[in-house]
Amino acid sequence: MKSIKIFAPATVANLSCGFDVLGCCLDTIGDEMVISLTPESGVKITKIDGANLPMETHKNVAGVAVEALLNTYGKNIGVEIEIYKKIKAGSGIGSSAASSAGAVWAVNYLLDTPYTPEELVKFAMEGEKLASGNAHADNVAPALLGGFTLVRSYSPLDVIKLNTPKDLLMTVIHPQIEVKTSDSRSVIKHNVSLKQAIQQWGNLGGLVAGLFTEDYNLIGRSLEDVIIEPMRSILIPEFNTVKQAAIAKGALGCGISGSGPSIFALSKGIDTANNVAEAIREVYHKTGLDFDIHVSKINSQGVKVIE
Ligand code: HSE
């Protein structure tokens, strides 16, 4: 039986101005999975540790994503999946994406890589569709490609890996309340004014340019969301206070991580990222809510083998 253990990273989607198109991969937060090829064909979830998630293959995001890969691969393959969840469901740091992306990456590895990471995105998106009703790729793409990614187009799918400036650090606070992506998508109005659209695509272009030129000031100026954040931030306790505290401590920018409730801040250098973490901790301490705070490098590799 061929088997590997992998690290399936958490991810921050949207990055303020890039709703459904931008994402980045984290280094210190993620799940572990053991994936094995078996002689008996079919996909089985054999163990889930750390979360109460469905064991039935067709109800489990990892199971569905692997089935999508095997349907295209076209040979009778057996796969067993063990999932060790560290990322909480509904946290906004890509819990379902880690399972979907991790599973397809590992199966592809065990089959001697018939697919490129870009091709794997399509299979992993089937897991996202099951989790949230929408096959968005802005978490699975950075989990599979590493670093920062842009979904230039969904139809046809066109995913581009961006540059990672070496001094960028991510601070993430995860308030221990669950916000389902499907609920958080349902509060979004579907009409955008031309004025808002102009601001948003100006910032999106600015952020991509800032990442490539490693212009931290430009990255900071571009981390603005005039469309989604005003609608979603009301779901997150103390969002505005956290944002003000992070910026006051020198963060380049701060916004909702994916569909929330996690909040991210990008900083230049570890000292600033730690100061931002401390300032956010003070704000949340007063709320009486439980929370976790992580400071992470950007993971430019994505999913990786750990054993
Ligand atoms: N782009 C998705 C959303 C990401 O904001 O709904 C979900 O993590």
Residues 256-267 have pLDDT tens digits of 999 999 999 999
> What CA dihedral angle connects 109, 110, 111 and 117, to 10 degrees?
-20
Please write down the HEC assignment for all residues of the chain. Answer: CEEEEEEEEEEEECCCCCCCCEEEEEEEEEEEEEEEEECCCEEEEEEEECCCCCCCHHHCHHHHHHHHHHHHHCCCCEEEEEEECCCCCCCCCCHHHHHHHHHHHHHHHHCCCCCCHHHHHHHHHHHHHHHHCCCCCCCHHHHHHCCEEEEEEECCEEEEECCCCCCEEEEEEEECCCCCHHHHHHCCCCCCCHHHHHHHHHHHHHHHHHHHHCCHHHHHHHCCCCCCHHHHHHHCCCHHHHHHHHHHCCCCEEEECCCCCCEEEEEECHHHHHHHHHHHHHHHHCCCCCEEEEEEEECCCCCEECC
Residue 75, amino acid: K
From the centroid of its chain, how far is CA 32?
15
pLDDT of 130: 95
Cβ–Cβ contacts within 10 Å for residue 252, how many? 23
Q: Are 298 and 24 in contact (CB under 8 A)?
A: yes
Atom of ligand 1 nearest to the CA of 138: 1
Q: What separation in Å is there between the alpha carbon of 14 and the centre of ligand 1?
A: 7
Dihedral of the alpha carbons of 184, 228, 96, 77, in degrees to the nearest 10 = 120
Q: Write down the pLDDT at residue 238.
A: 95
Low-confidence spans in the chain with pLDDT less than 50: none
- Nearest-CA residue for ligand 1 atom 4 is 258
Q: Measuring CA to CA, which residue among 30, 16, 85 is closest to residue 294?
A: 30
The reply to whether 214 belongs to the active site is no
Q: Which amino acid is at 225?
A: D
Question: 38 C-alpha to center of ligand 1: Å?
Answer: 34
Q: What is the rounded distance in angstroms from the CA atom of residue 5 to the CA atom of residue 7?
A: 7
Token output for 116: 């490129």
Centre of ligand 1 to C-alpha 16, Å, is 11
Q: What are the tens digits of pLDDT across the range 143-160?
A: 999 999 999 999 999 999
Q: Does ligand 1 lie within 6 Å of residue 259's CB atom?
A: yes
In short, whether 69's Cβ falls inside 6 Å of ligand 1 is no
d(CA 33, ligand 1 centre) in Å: 23
Q: What's the rounded Cα separation, in Å, for the pair 120 and 125? A: 9
Name the active-site residue from 11, 181, 224, 272.
181
